[in-house]
Amino acid sequence: MSAGYRAVQWTRFKIVYDGLLILAVAIYIASFLIVDSRLEPPTDQLTEIIIYVHAFGSATFLMLTAILSIGPLSRLDRRFLPLLYNRRHFGVLTFCVAMTHVAFAIYWFLAMDGLPGLAIELVNWPDYGKFIGFPFEALGIAAFAILLIMAATSHDFWLSFLTPTVWKALHLALYLAYGLVMMHVALGALQTDRTFFLPLLLGGGFATVSVLHVLAGQRERKRDAPTPVGRDGWLIVGAPQSIPDKRARIVVARGGERIAVFRDGARIGALSNLCAHQNGPIGEGCIIDGYVTCPWHGYQYRLADGCAPQPFTDKLATHRLRLRAGAVEVDPQPLPPGTAATIEV
C-alpha cells in the first residue's frame, strides 16, 4: 500500500518496465528469425514453422533464466530490487511467450497430420524408460501446465485466497518448470541440432542460475548467524544509535527467525521480518510518513503495533523491547499480531 493508504496500482515505472520487456522479447524473436532463416533457409512450410517453434521456445527459456536470476541478484545488490517488485509481470509475459511456442508446435503437428501419432507417443509407457526416444513432449506439456497455473494465480486475489505461505510455495514450482524445460530441450531439439547455440543456451542458463543462488545463499548464511543472547534469553541488538534512523537492524533468533528492529527518532519497535503480503523482508525497508514500508510492494505497518493503516486489516507480530546497560534488547518470543510494544530511548 502507498502512503495514501491504497493498494499500489499502475505507475510510470511499471508501464516503462512492461514496455521494455515486450520490446526486448520482440527484438530477440525478430533477430532469431532473421539469423536462423539465413543460416538454414527453410525449404518448406514445416521447416519454416520449426524456426518459429525454436524462436519462441528459446525466448521462454531465456526469460525463465532471467526470472530465476532476479531473486538472488536482488539479495546481492539492492539496485536489482525494482526488477523483483515487478517480477510477476515478467512471469505473465513469459507464459504468453511459452503459449505462443506451444501454439506453433501444435500447428506443426497439424501441418504434418501428426497429432494422432503424438497422442500414441505420449501414452507409450515403455519409452519413458529410454534416453533416446523419450517422449520429450510430455516434459514440455508438464512445464507449460505449471506456467499456466502460475499465470492464472498471479493476481493478488489468489495471494489473499491461498494465503501468502501457500501462494509462495505454489510459485516455487517455477524451479520445477525450469528443470522440465531443460530436459524437454535436452531430450528433444538437442538430439538433432548440431549447432553450438542450444548447448550454450542450456549450459549458460543453468550455470547462471546455479552460481547466483550459491552466492546469494552464502551471503544469507552469514546474515543468519545468531545474534548474541543475554542472560535471560533476550537478544542483544546494541546501542540505540547503532540502529539507523528510519531503518532497521535485523537480528536473528535461535532457529533462524529474523526480527526487524526499527528506530524512528527516539522510538524503537520490533516486528516480524516477514511482510503479510508476500513474506517480503520488512527489515530491508524503511519508515515512510511514519509507517514501516516493505521494500517489495510498498505495504505499510505502524511501528507501534504492526497494524496496517485503515481500511487494511493486515497485522504483523511484534516483540517486546527493553533498554539494559545502554543496549537495546529484544525478546525472541513474538507477541500476538497487532500488540503495541515500542520503547522510547
pLDDT digits 0-9 by tens, 96-131: 999 999 999 999 999 999 999 999 999 999 999 888
Q: What is the dihedral of CA 168, 173, 174, 176, to 10 degrees?
A: 160
Beta bridge pairs of residue 23? none
Burial of residue 19, with CB atoms counted within 10 A of its CB: 0-12 exposed, 13-18 middle, 19 or more buried: exposed
pLDDT for position 3: 36
Backbone angles phi, psi at 33, to 5 degrees: -65, -40
Residue 228 lies in a domain: no
Segments of the chain scoring below 50 in pLDDT = 1-8
According to DSSP, residue 247 is labeled S
Q: Do 1 and 299 contact (CB within 8 A), yes or no?
A: yes
Which three cell numbers mark 82? 525494482
Q: Give yes or no: residues 44 and 105 share one domain.
A: yes
- Of 223, 258, 291, which residue sits at a domain end? 223
Residue in this structure with the C-alpha cell 535436452, named with its chain if needed:
186
The number of residues in the chain equals 345
Which three cell numbers mark 278? 508476500
Residue 4 lies in a domain: no
Burial of residue 240, with CB atoms counted within 10 A of its CB: 0-12 exposed, 13-18 middle, 19 or more buried: middle
pLDDT for position 4: 38
pLDDT for position 157: 85
Residue 178 lies in a domain: yes
Query: What is the pTM assigned to this prediction?
Result: 0.80
pLDDT for position 192: 81
Domain housing 256:
235-344
CA angle 44/190/185 to nearest 5° reads 100
Q: Give yes or no: residues 268 and 204 share one domain.
A: no
Burial of residue 301, with CB atoms counted within 10 A of its CB: 0-12 exposed, 13-18 middle, 19 or more buried: buried
- Of 188, 223, 258, which residue sits at a domain end? 223
Q: Do 280 and 297 contact (CB within 8 A), yes or no?
A: yes
Q: Give yes or no: residues 128 and 151 share one domain.
A: yes
CA distance 40 to 50: 11
Q: 94: number of CA atoms within 13 Å, CB side? A: 30
- Of 166, 200, 223, which residue sits at a domain end? 223
What is the number of helices (H) and of strands (E) in the chain? 11, 11
